[in-house]
Structure 1
Amino acid sequence: MQFNDAATTKKRDQDDVTMPGSSVESLTLEEIPVEQAERLRLLLRQQGMMETGLNTHSLLQRVLLRPECVLAQQMNASLDDVYVIYSHVSAALLRRNNSFLSPTPVAAVLSSHHRHFISTGQECLDGALRGGLGCGLITEITGATGAGKTAFALNLAMRAASYPKKDDRRSCTLWITTDVSAFPATVAAAVLKRHFEARSCIDQEDGEDLEDALRNVAVTVHPTLAQLRQYFSVLRSHLANRTDVRFVVVDNFSVLVRRSFPGVDEEVTERHEAVAEFMSILKSIAQEFCVAIAVTTVSGEELGHSFLHAVNTRLRLTQCLLDCRGAFAFQEESQVRVTHVLELVKSSAAAAWRFECEFEGMCLKRARPLGDNEVVLVEDAKLFGADPFGHVTLPTFAFC
C-alpha cells in the first residue's frame, strides 16, 4: 500500500540525501569555463546540487534522466547551460570511486552479448548477414512457388545438423510444415550427405553417421493456423527442455493463412489480426529461447503490414533470367541464363545485396554476389515460360 502525504514525501527526500554508502563530496566547478562558472553555480545552488550528500540516484533522477527542455524550464536556463550541466554532472559521477557508472569499451559490450547464428554455408552470404541467421530473430524467406525457399531452408537445417557433436555451431532443428508430404525427407538425407562429404564427417571419431545426424531434425505437422497456435504451449516446453534446438522453420506460412482464411476480401481485417497475433507470439518465443526462426512465404501483400514489420530479416528468392554482359573483361557477348537470385531486402545489420545461388537439385552448391553490371531481365522465369535463349512460350487457348 502506498501513501502520498507530505510526511511521507519529506521522509523520502531525507532518505534520498542520506543514503548509506552513497554520500560523496560536493560537486565542483573546476572544469567549467570561467565565463559560465558563476551562472552555473547559481543554477546548481538553486537546485540544491551544491550541497554535500547528493548520491548518484539523485543526480540521475534530477538531471541526467530529465529531457533538456524540461530541465531548462525548471531551472530557467538556456539549452546551452543545460548541455554544460549534463556534461559537468556526468563527469562528476564518473570521477566517483563508488559509482556504478563507468565507461565501457564497445568491444567488451559486443563480446558480452554474443549471439549464435545459423550459417548458410556460403561465406559471402554469412558476411552480408553478419554471421548468418541470427538466433533470437525472425527471418522471412519469400518468393514465388518453386523459387527454392524450402530448398534454401533445408540446406540451413542440414548444415547445422552436420557439425560434429563437440562443435558449438551444431544445432537441432524443429521443422513445422503444413503437410507430411511437404517435407522432402528423402532429399533431406541426400542434402545432409552432401554436407557430410564436404566437411569429411562420415568417418568421425565419435562414430556418428547420417542416421544419427538426421535425428537432429524433428518434423511436426500442423495444417491450419489454429492448430499451430494451440501447439505453441508444447513448443515452449520443448524449447525449454531442449537447449540444443536453435533453429525453427515454419514452411509454408502463406498456406497456413490461406487455409484458415480462404476468403480474400471478406476476411482481410480478421486475417491481418490473426497474423499479427501469431507473429507477436513467434517473436517472443525467438527472443525468450534464443532460437533463429525462419518463415517461408509466397510473395504478396495478403499477410498485411504487421507481418512485414514483425520480421527482422527478409530474403527474397526468385528464379530469373540473368544477363551477365560485361561481367568479365574477356566477354564479348552477353551470357543469358536461368538462375536463382537471392536478394537481401531487409536487415537491421546489413545493406541490401543480391546473390546468385546455384542449386544442384535441392542442394545449394555455391553463392556469389552479383555485380552492378549484371542485370535481371525477367523474374520467376519458370512461371513466365521463358528460356535462356530469349524465346517465350505463350500459353495455348482453346476456343469452343
Structure 2
Amino acid sequence: MRDLQAYRTASALYTPDTEFANLHLIEIARGCGRGCRFCLAGYVYRPAREQPLARLLDWAKQGLQHGDRIGLVSAAVSDHTEIDEMAVALRQLGARISVSSMRTDPISVPLVRALAESGTQTLTIAPEAGSQRLRNVINKTQGVDDLMAAVELAEALKFPQLKLYFMIGHPTETDEDIEALVQFTLAARKRFKRRLAINATPFVPKAHTPFQWMAMADESTLKRRQAMIDKRLRPHQVAVRAESPQWAQVQAVLARGDRRLAPVLLALAAQGDLTIRSFHAALADAGLDASQFIGEFAHDRPLPWRIVESGVSDNFFDYEWRLTQKGETGSHCPPDSAGCLTCQACDPAWAFRFSDGKPAKRIGTHTSAGVLKTPIALLG
C-alpha cells in the first residue's frame, strides 16, 4: 500500500467480541524509519507514511459517536509529524486516548499529558537495552537523558504505573550490559515513586532484518541473566516479568524456519496442542533440532526467505550488520534530503516526491528479482 492516504485506516466494525473491544482504532501512520535492527515491522513496512491530521480528526469524530475511547495505531505513534496537535485536538473532542508505547527522543509532552488525562494507568517506554553501547548496536539511538526525562514526566503526571521494556540476549550483549540495565532501572526507581515494572524478553532473530544472520543466546545464558535482573531489582519494589527462554526458542525456530518445518506444523495441528515438549518432539520426528534454526547463519548460506521480496535489499541488511560489528548506528528513514534509494524500499518516483530533482544516492543496482548484485558501498 504505497499511498496510505488513498485508504480509510480506521475501525469499521464495533463489537465487544474483539481484543480491542469498545476501542475505536485509527492507524495514524504505517511503517517506521527508525531502523531498530531487531524489528521486522520496521523494515517490511518501509517507507514510513502517515495520514494527515484533518482526516484523522474526522475519523475520530465518527468513532466518538460509538464511544469515547480512541486507540492510535502506528509502529511509532509519537513520530507522527503532527502528534502534538493531534493529542490536543482529540482531548478537545472529549476523546480518551490509548497508545501502545512511544519513543522518548524526544517524548511528546502533549501526548503523554493527554494519556494521563484519559485515565491511562500505565505509561510504557522501551529502552530495549541498559547500556548506550548496546543501544547503539541495535540502532536504538535514544539516550539516557531522553529516557530519564520520560520517567520524570511519568512521575510529574502521576501515572499509576511505569513499564520499562527491555530485551535480553541482544547480539554482543555481556553481563556488563545487564548490570547497566539494572543501574538504569534503579535510577528510574528513584525518580518514579509508584508502581514500576520491567519486561525482560529474550531477543529473537528475525528474517528480513540486519540481525537475520545472528544466533539467539542460549537458554542457560538467558535464564541466568533473567535471574540476575530479578535478584537485583525485586528488593527495590520493581516487578520483573520475563518471558520463558524456551518459548522464545520456539519463536526463533518459526521466525527463521524453512520448508522442512511443514511436517512439524502439520503434526502439531493434528495434535491440537502446542507445548514445549510437543514442539521439540515434532521437530525430532521430522529429523530436525531447534539448534539448526537458532544458531548463527553463515553469510554465504542462501537464506530460505530470500524468495520473499520485502522491498529492502539484502545488501542494505549486510551493511547494517557490518555497522553492528563496529557498534555504530545507522541513519533514519526518511533521510534529511529527498531522493534516497539507500535501502531500495522506495522506487525513484516515491523517493523523489519531495526532491528538487537532484540525483539520488544509491547503493548497487536492482535486478528484475529485486536483488542487489553490486557490493555495498558507504555513502559519501
Q: Same fold (TM over 0.5)?
A: no
**Which protein has the larger Cα radius of gyration, Structure 1 or Structure 2?**
1
TM-score by length of 2: 0.29
**What TM-score comes out, normalization by structure 1 length?**
0.28
The structure, 1 or 2, with the larger RCO (C-alpha pairs under 8 Å, 6+ apart) is 1
Structure with bigger strand share is 1
